Amino acid sequence: MALIAFKRIIKNGFLNFKRSGLVSWAAVLVVTVTLCVITIIILLQAVLHFSLNQIKDKVDVAIYFTTSAPEDKILTLKSSLERLPEVATVSYTSADEALKNFRDRHSSDYPTIQALDEIGTNPLGAYLNVKAKEVSQYESIANFLKSDDALVIGSASIIDKVNYYQNKSVIDKLNAIISGAQKLGFLVTLLFVILSIIITLNTIRLTIFISKEEIGVMRLVGASKMHVRGPFMIEGAIYGMVATFITVILFWPAMAWFGAKMTDFLGINMYDYYISNFFQIFTILLLSGVGLGIISSFLAVRKYLNK
């Protein structure tokens, strides 16, 4: 009995969609616009995260060691740093590698290379490059380096300098920019979603207004609230499903063009991102569209059921 009633509700939902004609397609159009806004927000968030990660990758802390620092002590420190929960990676550059890199960078600077040859010995020490998981965590790494007693041999530290303190103001500003961008992105997303829900709700309310007399008759003959509300909720779900397919079809060629034209500017190929994350994007849009249609229909019908 329950299955028969459920099938009837689904059938009536499709009949309502077909019978409403242009009004149904107007509701689909509004839901499509809403889902397009959601898709644009998803893609903008991807660009934002990519840009922030690019900035984060350029930030690190370099630990320069004295020329007499034993390699085993440096590697011990490297292991200690890698065990810190704040640390993402630690790379080691030996004194010989540091000298080679210096020569490569100044290969066209003859006076510098000549002066280096005249010294006869390697004036550069080894160093570690430390990357934190978050920009805000560099300070705790620097504090660890200041307080670690294992770094001290006799009365002299093997560390020559840590460049965090020279770059602290830049890192703090960068951390503030990242935090502000993430908060702004969240607020803009929330604003657009709320506006989209309001517009969709009002449009679906208009489609149901056309059927208010039918709802009244159904209530008079004793139909339950679920039997009245069900077909409209199915109709709302259909709006969401149709709008989802329209949205993903519209964005496919748009992302192909955008990916070809804007990759150099954005640093990320939006078409590749769209294709590689297609299933996730499709799922988000489908759940958003169907959920939006069902909830809007539920709320819109309630007004007439409570009369």
Considering the domain architecture, whether residues 144 and 220 belong to the same structural domain is answered as: no
Query: Based on the domain organization, do 89 and 33 belong to the same domain?
Result: no
pTM for the structure as a whole: 0.66
> Are both 277 and 199 inside the same structural domain?
yes
Q: Would residue 165 count as lying in a domain?
A: no
**6 vs 213: CA distance, rounded Å:** 23
Contacts of 288 (CB under 8 A, 6+ apart): 34, 35, 38, 240
- Residue numbers of the domain that contains 110: 67-157
Residues 203 and 152 reside in one and the same domain:
no
Residue 157: phi and psi, rounded to 5, are -80, 150
Domain contains 61: no
DSSP summary character for residue 221: T
Alpha helix segments (H runs only) across the chain? 2-20, 22-57, 71-82, 95-105, 110-119, 138-147, 164-209, 212-220, 225-266, 270-276, 278-305
Q: How many CA atoms lie within 13 A of 21 on its CB side?
A: 2
Q: In a structure prediction context, what are the per-residue pLDDT tens digits for the chain, which is 307 residues long?
A: 566 666 776 776 677 677 767 777 878 888 888 888 888 888 887 877 777 777 767 777 888 888 888 888 888 888 888 888 888 888 898 888 887 887 787 777 777 777 777 776 777 888 888 888 887 788 788 777 776 544 444 334 677 787 776 666 766 776 677 677 777 777 877 777 777 677 777 777 776 676 666 666 666 666 666 777 777 788 888 888 999 999 999 998 888 887 777 766 666 788 888 888 999 999 999 998 888 888 887 877 776 666 5
Look up tokens 């689904």; give the residue. Answer: 10
150 lies in the same domain as 205: no
